[in-house]
Amino acid sequence: MFTSPFSTAFVLGGYEIKMYGVVMFFAIICAILTANFIAKKYYREVDIDILTDFYPILIISGIICARAYYVILNIDYYILKPSEIIALWHGGISIHGAILGGVIAGILYFKKKKLSILKYADVITYGLVMGQIIGRWGNFFNSEAFGTPCNLPWKLYIAPSYRPIEYYSYSYFHPTFLYESLFCILIFLILFFGVRKVQKERDGLIFYSYFMLYSIGRFIIEGIRTDSVLNIGTVPIAQIASVLLFITGAIGCIWTINKSKKLPPV
């Protein structure tokens, strides 16, 4: 059984530093270190200095778009409480928004540098997955993004103040943050030990494969989460976004493989 612990890490100058923020900071650092390690070890043609210069742009654009995506989906709440829009320490960022922001930033940055967008995207993808593995634990400390009630051995206790009204009488829920973190570990292993071994000159294969793999896990996990904020009919918008991401990844993988077949032999 899990129990969400304290949400405040420490107090600095009279301000509470939330564990959510500490986890996200740690996730970003580990993501950068992972991408740099992968680049140095397996992608020698990737310029680490250029990659390092891109990180601040990537982080800022990812956070802005991740937050904007979440705010738009919860617009009724933020119209009433506009000051909460910048309160990132309360949680409320979307991975789909972060991916969109990162893709836009990457296209603009590497196109201007006249470098292979997909080659750098492959390297950054490893960092992204590592960031997700760690970052999901921010939901644990915030007592958010949990699933429907359950009584499994790994059930998560949620305090009454954090429970949805319809599940107020329940105490234990699916730890969906843990499911996604573990699934992202699986994705990392598949990309590193599987896709990377057959990638060869197929720039973008890691990037597009991630789209497909993550979409599968997120679609399934989203089905048992209790915090889906916007539905189209009865389908959560996050599941629709996952389907679109999967299709994009599938098309990208097919295009990348077919493109490599047309390259002259080395």
What is the per-residue pLDDT across 96-155, written as a single tens digit (0 to 9) for each? 999 999 999 999 999 999 999 999 999 999 999 999 999 999 999 989 889 999 999 999
Q: Which of 3-17, 183-197, 217-231 has the lowest mean pLDDT?
A: 3-17
Average pLDDT over residues 53-79: 92
Average pLDDT over residues 67-93: 85
Exposure letters 237-257 (e unless 16+ CB within 10 A, then b): bbbbbbeebbeebeebbeebe
Query: What's the pTM?
Result: 0.91
- Amino acid identity, position 40: K
Nearest Cα neighbor of 2 from 130, 177, 227 is 177
* pLDDT reading at 27 higher than 60: yes
* pLDDT reading at 12 higher than 80: no
Exposure letters 20-31 (e unless 16+ CB within 10 A, then b): bbbbbeebbebb
* pLDDT reading at 266 higher than 50: no
- CA–CA dist 127, 53 (Å, integer): 15
- CA–CA dist 26, 109 (Å, integer): 25
Nearest Cα neighbor of 204 from 118, 90, 92 is 118
Q: Which of 13-27, 101-115, 144-158, 202-216 has the lowest mean pLDDT?
A: 13-27
- Amino acid identity, position 179: Y
Q: Calculate helix-pair angle for 95-113, 237-261, nearest 10 degrees.
A: 30
* pLDDT reading at 55 higher than 80: yes
- Compute the chain's Rg from CA coordinates: 19
Give the sheet arrangement for strand 172-173, strand by strand. 2-3, 156-157, 172-173
Q: What are phi and psi of 253, to 5 degrees?
A: -65, -45
- CA–CA dist 106, 129 (Å, integer): 17
* Cα separations in angstroms, 266 against 48, 117, 260, 263: 26, 22, 12, 9
* pLDDT reading at 57 higher than 60: yes
* pLDDT reading at 247 higher than 50: yes
Burial class (CB in 10 A: 0-12, 13-18, 19+), 92: buried
* pLDDT reading at 69 higher than 70: yes
Average pLDDT over residues 43-52: 94
163 marked among binding-site residues: no
208: pLDDT confidence band, cut at 50, 70 and 90?
A: very high
Pick the residue with more confidence: 125 or 3? 125
Pick the residue with more confidence: 120 or 70? 120
Identify the pLDDT of residue 76: 84
